[in-house]
């Protein structure tokens, strides 16, 4: 008899419903889905609407429609349920409170100006918290952020795309005591994402390269909470000719615009796959599912990152 808790590959795609999915989101979703399906794993769709000040139900509905249009499917998610739900972060706040209560935290009432005055910056230019409120008594009722008294240590993260030591932080020197809950009550991405990945038994995280820099602090949090860290693959973002993330400004349509404008998912999938070197230029259109049979395992060989052939979408 198979063990009940047999570890299977569990991948996920976790968009924030704060805008329309653009082609960069679509390419990341496609890679995450391909990788999970190739491994015979379970694919989880999680809606990261933890920031209730920016999330909108309308965008969540577009996520479902756009991903299904691409030919992607998922085994667990807000719309299909599953054993590790709820799959919307807005419905998981009690879990965030419970998990953060297991950590050594303190209330922080520093103003933005106070923080900006801090001389210490991370290699990425972020303010490193100077520790002002570590010993400062905070009167009850005063709005305060919640910070983690992060223990010192060096955290190194390997990556399926970038190789060993893809991200390294000396937590005390490069990160400091970071925020778990904002002053307005929004749980920080850093906490919500690790609590959810652990609770949903995610084994493999495929996401955009812009999140690579915060992976060491997430692994630090996971360890403090006693959870195993998943494998990570940080995949290239799509940039416009000006070096900024590809957007409408570059004349790039978002997924909803393509879908509603009569583009075909097969051409869209082919353009995305060709830009990663996964498909020869001679293939103008292919359903997502047909890619599965055709491709060698993704991340086994280095990813290619070529400009999108936007003209082929029209
Ligand atoms: Zn403070």
CA of 111 to the centre of ligand 1 (A): 8
pTM of the model: 0.94
Q: Is the pLDDT of residue 293 over 70?
A: yes
Q: Each residue of 130-153: pLDDT tens digit? A: 899 998 888 888 899 999 999 999
pLDDT at 168: 94
Q: If we measure between CA atoms, which residue out of 71, 30, 66 comes closest to residue 253?
A: 66
pLDDT at 163: 94
For the chain, what is the mean pLDDT?
92
Q: Is the pLDDT of residue 2 over 60?
A: no
- Of the listed ranges 6-10, 36-40, 122-126, 266-270, the least confidently predicted one is 122-126
Q: Is the pLDDT of residue 6 over 80?
A: no
Q: Each residue of 173-182: pLDDT tens digit? A: 899 999 999 9
Which pLDDT band holds residue 284 (cuts at 50, 70, 90)?
Answer: very high
CA of 127 to the centre of ligand 1 (A): 12
CA of 130 to the centre of ligand 1 (A): 8
CA of 106 to the centre of ligand 1 (A): 9
pLDDT at 7: 67
CATH pick for 95-190 out of 1.10.3080.10, 3.40.50.2000, 3.40.50.620, 3.20.20.70: 3.40.50.620
In the chain, the percentage of residues whose pLDDT exceeds 90 is 75
pLDDT at 1: 43
In the chain, the percentage of residues whose pLDDT exceeds 70 is 97
Q: Is the pLDDT of residue 5 over 80?
A: no
The residues annotated as belonging to the active site are 248
Q: What residues have a C-beta under 5 A from ligand 1, the ion? A: 108, 110, 132-133
CA of 258 to the centre of ligand 1 (A): 46
């Amino acid at each position: 008899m198979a063990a009940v808790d047999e570890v299977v590959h569990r991948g996920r795609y976790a968009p924030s419903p704060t805008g329309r999915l653009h082609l960069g989101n679509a390419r990341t979703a496609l890679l995450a889905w391909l990788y999970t399906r190739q491994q015979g794993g379970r694919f989880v769709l999680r809606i990261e609407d933890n920031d209730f000040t920016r999330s909108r139900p309308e965008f969540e509905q577009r996520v479902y429609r756009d991903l299904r249009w691409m030919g992607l499917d998922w085994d667990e998610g807000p719309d299909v349920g599953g054993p590790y739900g709820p799959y919307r972060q807005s419905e998981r706040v009690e879990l965030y409170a419970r998990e953060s209560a297991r950590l050594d935290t303190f209330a922080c009432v520093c103003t933005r100006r106070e923080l900006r005055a801090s001389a210490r910056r991370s290699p990425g230019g972020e303010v490193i918290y100077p520790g002002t409120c570590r010993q400062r008594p905070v009167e009850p009722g005063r709005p305060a952020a919640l910070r983690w008294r992060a223990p010192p240590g060096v955290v190194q993260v390997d990556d399926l795309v970038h190789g060993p030591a893809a991200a390294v932080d000396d937590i005390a020197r490069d990160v400091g005591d970071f925020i778990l809950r904002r002053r307005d009550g929004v749980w920080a991405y850093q906490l919500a994402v690790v609590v959810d990945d652990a609770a949903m038994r995610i084994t493999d995280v495929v996401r955009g390269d812009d999140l690579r820099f915060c992976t060491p602090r997430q692994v630090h949090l996971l360890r403090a909470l006693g959870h195993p860290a998943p494998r990570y693959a940080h995949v290239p973002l799509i940039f416009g000719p000006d070096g900024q993330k590809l957007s409408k400004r570059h004349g790039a349509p978002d997924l909803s615009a393509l879908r509603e404008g009569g583009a075909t998912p097969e051409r869209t999938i082919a353009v995305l796959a060709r830009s990663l070197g996964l498909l020869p230029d001679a293939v103008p259109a292919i359903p997502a599912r047909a890619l599965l049979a055709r491709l060698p395992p993704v991340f086994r060989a280095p990813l290619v990152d070529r400009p999108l052939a936007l003209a082929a979408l029209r």
